[in-house]
Amino acid sequence: MAGYDYPPAPLCDQVDDFFGTPVPDPYRWLEDVDSPETLEWIAAQNALTESFLAAIPARDSLRARIRELFDYESFTIPFRRGGRYFFSVNSGLQEHYVFCTSDSPEGEPRVLIDPNLFPPEENLSLAGTSVSNDGRHVAWGLSRSGSDWSDWYVTDIETGELLGDTVRWTKAGWVAWNADDTGFYYSAPRPPAPGEEYTAVTEAERVFLHILGTSQEDDSLVYECPGRPELFPSAFLTDDENYLIIDVFDGSTLDHNFLYYNDMTLPPSERTTEELVGRLGATYSFVGNVGAVFYVRTNLGAPNGRLVAIELEHPDPECWREVVPERDEPLEGVSLLNGSGTLVLEYSKDACSRVELWSTDGAFERELELPCPGSAWGFGGRQDDTETFYQFTSFLYPEVIYRYDFSTGASEEVRRPEIDADLSAYESRQVFCESCDGTRVPMFLVYPRGIELDGGNRTLMTGYGGFGISMSPYFDPSIILWLERGGVFAMPCIRGGGEYGEAWHLAGVGACRENTYDDFASAAEFLIAQGFTSTPFLGIEGASNGGTLIGACLNRRPDLYGAAVPQMSVMDLLRFHLFTYGWSWVPEYGDPDDPDQFAFLYRLSPYHNIMEGVEYPAVLVTTADHDDRVVPGHSFKYTARLQASQAGDAPVLIAIYPESGHGGAVGLTEALDRSADIYAFLLAVLGDDREASGD
């Protein structure tokens, strides 16, 4: 712990026995996030980090500039209900997006829910919205301090009146209205015991129906899975309101789920829950229905996905009609629109969007022309809609919202943001590097035009590599902040993600996770070999599972990187399953309670593999005190151990964000300050002495 007077972190004598292997856990006491000892440690760590950041000359200018970059009007994708359009808007630097309605997609917004008017001392944020099909009511969720827990309320859209309904202790972030818009379906686990709201295991969710004007205690149970706490059900009506779809996610598997339905045309006494697809070891996404024919996107027998039509009278897989077969590009989304006559299919080609239109009888119609390599999403709506809306973005292409008209086949701009930056001063491109086993790994690069490839460019490389999540191009004004300082931004699409379908995902799961770490290190070596940067100038960053990546990569190659910022990270791979939703990550990471899987988890766990007497690069860990998805104890224990083991002079710091959850800050101002501080840290620690001031 050379160079810094770190807050004391006493060692405890906790040793766990894993199948005959003694595993010390000397900082177990830091898992008790509310103990006086932990709170004292948190305060001391935050004071140390603040003193370091406050001494960086560029901190104030970075905070000011990031505000300028984010100060533009931005909108979410609109949707239509009951003759009105609904969307959220931020006028620039508002702390929260405001939920609005208008008579047209381009019309003047009328405010429905403004979270900026919530009492600031209560640290509240909007956790979700759901508009009734007739456009008369909006249900909206409220989260405190960034927690995943949310309570739901209902507002009359015409009058703005808040109704008396309250639905508490939900975590799913969704509700779905019933057929006559007199109530809504929602799922909820059993409420936590007092004092265990942010740490207790979350399981055994059930689906309920809440009727407006009644108490939550009177809500009727719609669906539950007795004896199966690992199952997470949700429910929604088909657009024709003839069927209630029950989608059951199996948290003990890799994204497998089941689909059930109730025929709502039958009298209530005759309705039964029927299986549509289930227990076939695959994923199923309900797209829509035409009468008793259901369209479903699935990876059953097709790792990259395909679209099938299932007749309710003959639901067995051998009777399915394949509408769109599997192909090389992963199928990431399907919508049924235009009077139930057109399918919009979203593919990923080398991590960039490709959108096609098909007929329901399996005939290709056209490909949607997109502005450049980037990401398009949205394409929602009801099946009878003759228009759909989508957003397109890329690293140097701010989020533009388009309206697609099925009758003309044309897209038109609805909203385009105005950014206070000259984006033409930069360029982005995709390159491919080779991993240790010869696998070709794509990587996106963004950098100033005319950059010199002399190894002296500060570079920030970010990664994720897990849960089948694709890292596709996106616009983030904070990246522009980095580019304006001469920095390079790199984003490799490593194994464990979904960029090339389920096979790419599985190549980074469990014991194969070392492929993910090899890919990331190979991307770093590529940047160095090509002259973009060198070790003293190379910083790495990742959040959540991406933070786990950063922690593991630091242990494997502390000599390769100049700085690291692991955020909200899973660092103890032997105890992650004991808190909140952690047990549902076992299919991805592995099972510590299995002797074979324990072996590789112990070998890869960032907390357990910190090496004593090693010179680590500069590290800034971030976490949040109300993170009830990845509990902050992971980051606390990791930081304490790394500080005690650091043999070099580089700082090992932690920022513990107060009154915040897994998504970070509740309000925009705090979020921007935290982002600017990370860039200030990187500017201060990367590079040679002349540049280390960060100014």
Is residue 695 very low, low, confident or very high in pLDDT (cuts 50, 70, 90)? very low
Question: So what's the pLDDT on residue 475?
Answer: 98
- Residues 346 and 331: beta-carbon distance below 8 Å: yes
Q: Where are the domains of the chain?
A: 15-67+423-691, 328-418
| pTM more than 0.85 | yes
Rounded-to-10 torsion of CA 17, 21, 24, 29: -30
Is residue 691 very low, low, confident or very high in pLDDT (cuts 50, 70, 90)? very low
Average pLDDT of the residues of the chain: 94
Catalytic residue among 544, 569, 584, 635: 544
Which 8-state DSSP code applies to residue 629? S
Tell me which residue of 176, 215, 175, 171 sits closest to 190, measured CA to CA. 171
- Residues 331 and 345: beta-carbon distance below 8 Å: yes
Is residue 436 very low, low, confident or very high in pLDDT (cuts 50, 70, 90)? very high
Catalytic residue among 96, 522, 662, 675: 662
For residue 331, count other CB atoms closer than 10 A to its CB.
24
Cβ-count burial 491-527 (b if 16+ within 10 Å, e if not): bbbbbbbbbbbbebbbbbbbeebbbbbbbbbbbbbbb
Known catalytic residue at 187 = no
Tokens standing for residue 425: 């001063």
Stretch 154-171: mean pLDDT: 95
Question: So what's the pLDDT on residue 694?
Answer: 45
Instruction: Give tens-digit pLDDT for 400-422.
Output: 999 999 999 999 999 999 999 99
Q: What is the CATH number of domain 15-67+423-691?
A: 3.40.50.1820
Instruction: Give tens-digit pLDDT for 570-601.
Output: 999 999 999 988 988 999 999 999 999 999 99
Stretch 179-202: mean pLDDT: 86
Known catalytic residue at 626 = no
Is the model's pLDDT at 175 over the cut of 50? yes
Q: Contacts by 317-321 with C-beta closer than 8 Å and gap 24+?
A: 317/277, 317/280
445/533 Cα distance (integer angstroms): 12
Instruction: Give tens-digit pLDDT for 336-368.
Output: 999 999 999 999 999 999 999 999 999 999 999
Cα angle for residues 390, 429, 306 (degrees, 5° grid)? 45
Is the model's pLDDT at 2 over the cut of 80? no
Question: So what's the pLDDT on residue 129?
Answer: 96
Instruction: Give tens-digit pLDDT for 438-464.
Output: 999 999 999 999 999 999 999 999 999
Stretch 70-79: mean pLDDT: 98
Map tokens 């043999």 to a residue: 647
Is the model's pLDDT at 627 over the cut of 80? yes
Instruction: Give tens-digit pLDDT for 3-35.
Output: 799 999 999 999 999 999 999 999 999 999 999
Tokens standing for residue 624: 């949040």
Question: So what's the pLDDT on residue 689?
Answer: 43
Instruction: Give tens-digit pLDDT for 516-558.
Output: 999 999 999 999 999 999 999 999 999 999 999 999 999 999 9
